[in-house]
């Protein structure tokens, strides 16, 4: 089940390696508890929700993935708390510190949901049904490459692309039939050609990934250091810095800022969030048919919607957006009360949408 790699000892013959792997699989997994319960970390509402594509479901209520150089499994235990298991980690104390940092445990969801509920009573109902949906704090380089892969893409293809790039890094081990890797450094990524990426099915994104790696290599102090330094910038400066890289648009920049650069007020906006913003009437000026017809999700409108979320939910608006986004996922929407899933648009906007759909059918 689990195979350690990257050791300095001489490699074992294949037969011995297989036996060692089988031995590891037969050993019982010891789960150590984190001081966090389901209301603060709900694994199914955190990992398979589009924040990261490097973690895999490896068992019932169990997810496994890399945290820097460490391979970690997390499980929701029977009492609702979270247990963790480190696979062949040489420094358990360091791994635990890195894991807690990755999980953003210093931020209390209970306090945030209370603030959001006071700002929007409907949010309290959402929080009750989606408690424990947490925003992760990822390494900036891996996060950036993942979200370049996500552009105009579906989860299956994104995951395949991210797995391909990750496989260029150091092998961490195998859990539940999945191979896990430390994310490759810039030098390693620089050796991956556009042709190789296109051959692996990346399409036009291949050019942008290669271009991003080349651009990062030219940044002051090195690409990783430059990306990490954006954590010290204000949101606008971080977004501008990210958008200086070809292939990084407003949504990708906002995702990277929220999920890796500590920009908790960053609000990634796509058509789903755009719909949420209007259904929740965060933008009352767009409720008229004329205004709705004129509005398009341009970079300027992206910023406008983000600012509306901040006005409504404050400096952690990105966390509020994440919960609202999760509420619209097919896996969650059927389980939510009608009030949360069917917040009605004004009649004139609904009529406009219907007429727009009719025009699309005629064109097609």
pLDDT by residue for the chain (364 residues), tens only, comes to: 433 343 333 333 333 333 333 334 445 788 999 999 999 999 999 999 999 999 999 999 999 999 999 999 999 999 999 999 999 877 899 999 999 999 999 999 999 999 999 988 878 888 888 899 999 999 999 999 999 999 888 889 999 999 999 999 999 999 999 999 999 999 999 999 999 999 999 999 999 999 999 999 999 888 999 999 999 999 999 999 999 999 999 999 999 999 999 999 999 988 778 877 777 666 676 666 556 666 777 888 888 889 989 998 999 999 999 998 888 888 777 767 654 444 433 444 444 445 444 444 443 3
User: Among 39, 72, 41, 42, which residue's Cα sits nearest to residue 55?
Assistant: 72
Joined together, the tokens standing for residue 316 give 């952690």
Q: Where among 207, 234, 260 does a domain terminate?
A: 260
64's CB contacts (< 8 A; 6+ apart) are 55, 56, 58, 71, 72, 73, 74, 175, 176, 178, 180
Domain encompassing residue 47: 14-129
Q: Are 99 and 145 in a shared domain?
A: no
Tokens of 151: 């552009």
Please state the domain count of the chain: 2
Q: Is there a domain that residue 314 lies in? A: no
pLDDT value for 24 = 45
Catalytic: which of 56, 251, 263, 312? Answer: 251
Quickly tell me which residue has 């460490």 as its tokens.
70
- From the CB of residue 315, how many other CB atoms can be counted at a distance below 10 Å? 12
Same domain (yes/no): 59, 106: yes
Please check whether residue 186 is in contact with residue 225, taking contact to mean a CB–CB distance below 8 angstroms: no
Q: What pLDDT, on the 0 to 100 scale, is given for residue 350?
A: 41
Same structural domain for residues 227 and 144?
yes
Residues 120 and 193 in one domain: no
> Regarding beta strands 178-181 and 32-33, do their DSSP bridges make them parallel or antiparallel, or are they unpaired?
unpaired
DSSP category for residue 57: E
**Which pLDDT does position 153 carry in this prediction?**
86
Residue 337 pLDDT: 65
Q: Quick one: pLDDT at residue 184?
A: 98
Residue 293 confidence (pLDDT)? 60
Q: What is the distance between the alpha carbons of residues 230 and 172, in angstroms, rounded to a whole number?
A: 28
Examine the residue annotation and report whether 251 is marked as an active-site residue of this protein: yes
Which of 260, 281, 305 delimits the end of a domain? 260
Instruction: List beta partners, residue 173.
Output: 180
Collect all residues with Cβ–Cβ distance below 8 Å to 21 and sequence separation of at least 6: 1, 2, 3, 174
Q: Is 304 exposed, middle or buried (0-12, 13-18, 19+ CB in 10 A)?
A: middle
Same domain assignment for residues 125 and 159: no
| Residues whose CB is less than 8 angstroms from the CB of residue 35 and which lie 6 or more positions away in sequence, other chains included | none
Number of CB atoms found within 10 A of residue 91's CB: 12
Tell whether 283 is covered by a domain: no
134 domain residue, yes or no: no
CA 88 and chain centroid, separation: 26
CB 257 within 8 A of CB 242: yes
Mark whether 164 and 196 lie in a shared domain: yes
Considering the domain boundaries, does residue 334 fall inside one? no
CB count in 10 Å sphere of residue 194: 15
Look at residue 81 and tell me if it is in a domain. yes
At 35, which CATH number? 3.30.310.40
Tell me whether residue 243 is in a domain. Answer: yes
Q: What is the pLDDT of residue 124?
A: 81
253 and 172 housed in the same domain: yes
Q: Are residues 106 and 147 in the same domain?
A: no
**Which residue among 227, 260, 293 closes a domain?**
260
Residue with tokens 């945290």, as numbered in its chain: 67
Are residue 151 and residue 50 in the same domain, yes or no?
A: no
Residue 45 located in a structural domain: yes
Tokens linked to 22: 């089988």
- What pLDDT was estimated at residue 273? 80
CB 218 within 8 A of CB 186: no
Phi, psi of 327 (to 5 degrees): -65, -20
Residue 182 within a domain: yes
- From the centroid of its chain, how far is CA 320? 14
């Amino acid at each position: 089940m689990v195979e350690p790699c990257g050791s300095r000892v001489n490699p074992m013959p294949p037969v011995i390696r297989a036996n060692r792997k089988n031995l590891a699989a037969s050993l019982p997994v010891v789960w150590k508890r984190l001081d966090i319960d389901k209301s603060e970390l709900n694994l199914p509402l955190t990992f398979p929700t589009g924040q990261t594509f490097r973690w895999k479901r490896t068992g019932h209520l169990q997810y496994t993935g890399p945290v820097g150089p460490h391979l970690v499994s997390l499980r929701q235990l029977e009492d609702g708390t979270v247990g963790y298991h480190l696979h062949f980690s040489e420094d358990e104390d360091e791994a635990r510190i890195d894991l807690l940092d990755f999980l953003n445990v210093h931020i209390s969801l209970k306090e945030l949901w209370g603030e959001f509920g006071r700002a929007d009573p409907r949010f309290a109902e959402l929080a009750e049904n989606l408690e424990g949906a947490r925003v992760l704090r990822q390494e900036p380089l891996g996060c950036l490459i993942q979200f370049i892969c996500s552009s105009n893409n579906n989860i299956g293809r994104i995951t395949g692309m991210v797995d391909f790039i990750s496989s260029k890094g150091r092998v961490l081990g195998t859990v539940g039939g999945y191979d896990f890797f430390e994310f490759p450094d810039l030098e390693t990524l620089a050796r991956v050609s556009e042709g190789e990426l296109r051959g692996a099915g990346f399409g036009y994104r291949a050019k942008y990934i290669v271009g991003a790696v080349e651009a990062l290599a030219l940044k002051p102090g090195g690409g990783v250091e430059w990306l990490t330094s954006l954590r010290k910038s204000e949101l606008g400066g971080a977004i501008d810095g990210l958008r200086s890289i070809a292939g990084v648009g407003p949504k990708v920049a906002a995702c990277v800022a929220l999920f890796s650069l500590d920009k908790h007020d960053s609000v990634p906006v796509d058509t789903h969030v755009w719909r949420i913003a209007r259904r929740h009437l965060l933008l009352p000026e767009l409720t008229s048919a004329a205004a709705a017809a004129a509005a398009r999700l341009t970079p300027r409108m992206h910023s406008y919607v983000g600012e509306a979320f901040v006005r409504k939910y404050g400096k952690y608006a990105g966390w509020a957006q994440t919960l609202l986004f999760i509420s619209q996922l097919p896996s969650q929407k059927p389980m939510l009360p009608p009030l949360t899933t069917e917040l009605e648009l004004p009649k004139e906007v609904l009529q406009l949408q219907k007429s727009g759909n009719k025009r699309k059918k005629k064109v097609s």
